[in-house]
Amino acid sequence: MASLGQQTGSLSDGLPPEIAKRVHPDWRKNEADYWAHRDNLLANYRDQWIGFADGKVIASGKSPVEVFHSAQTSGRRPFTTCVGHEHEPNRMRRSTFSYDQSYPNEPLPIVTVEF
């Protein structure tokens, strides 16, 4: 049985085969490397989102979207996860909206709603 700090197989193993075969080998390597380093990462990154590539954290923060985009700009096909919450479902979708930049913290999208 695997401990909480270990992952058996890849997250991509749960994808339909036609999609799983499109996952780049570098991403799979970064995912495996993350699990090899995960127990050491808990002390500094628990409850934070990180982008992990080439054996190290290349982006971190509280916003999954900001960390994902920051890590992706590296071009190193990073594995992105929330340390300590790896098995909790999380969905990210790309949508384009106008944003209220004056809202404190992160800007909120502006949408028109009719009841």
Q: Is 106 strand, coil or helix?
A: coil
Task: Identify the pLDDT of residue 25.
Answer: 96
Per-residue confidence (pLDDT) for residue 100, from 0 to 100: 84
For residue 90 the two structure tokens come to 């999380």
pLDDT at position 76: 97
Comparing C-alpha atoms, which of 46, 62, 55, 65 is closest to residue 109?
65
Q: How far apart are CA 76 and CA 51, in angstroms?
A: 10
> What ranges do the domains of the chain cover?
11-85
Residue 74 confidence (pLDDT):
95
Query: What is residue 45's predicted lDDT score, i.e. its pLDDT?
Result: 98
Which residues of the chain are modeled with pLDDT < 50? Answer: 1-3
pLDDT of residue 3: 45
H or E element at residue 37: helix 25-45
